[in-house]
Amino acid sequence: MMVLEMVGRRKNINVEVSQTSETYFPLWIYKHLDQSMNLNINEERTKEEKEITKKLIAVSLWCIQTNPLDQPPVAKVIEMLQGILQSLELPPR
């Protein structure tokens, strides 16, 4: 969750929002993942840095799955981080 907060530059819960769908941060990440600018990914970063950021987001979303059976073991996390971005799938919401 900390990696997602760092990438999105916001905390997990924003008590000042009016819509409850905006209070759960992972849903906000899913919603804005395709819109890189809203995640601040396009700010003066190289292509490689943008890909690393997207990879960290995908792996982080896998690691915070509410069902423990959906969470990858550490060996799989390392494999995902060492692999290429295009081979990563996003977990279910």
Is 71 a domain residue? yes
Structure-token pair, residue 80: 């995902």
Is 57 a domain residue? yes
CB distance 8 to 40 below 8 Å: yes
Q: Which residue did the predictor score with more confidence, 19 or 29?
A: 29
Q: What is the mean pLDDT of the chain?
A: 76
Q: Is the pLDDT of residue 71 over 60?
A: yes
Segments forming the whole domain that contains residue 65: 47-92
Residues 6+ apart with CB under 8 A from 63: 71, 72, 77
Is 34 a domain residue? no
Number of folded domains that form the chain: 1
Structure-token pair, residue 65: 């799955």
Is 67 a domain residue? yes
What is the pLDDT at residue 47? 85
Is 16 a domain residue? no
Q: Is the pLDDT of residue 37 over 50?
A: no
What is the pLDDT at residue 49? 84
Q: Is 60 exposed, middle or buried (0-12, 13-18, 19+ CB in 10 A)?
A: buried
The average pLDDT across 42-69 equals 85
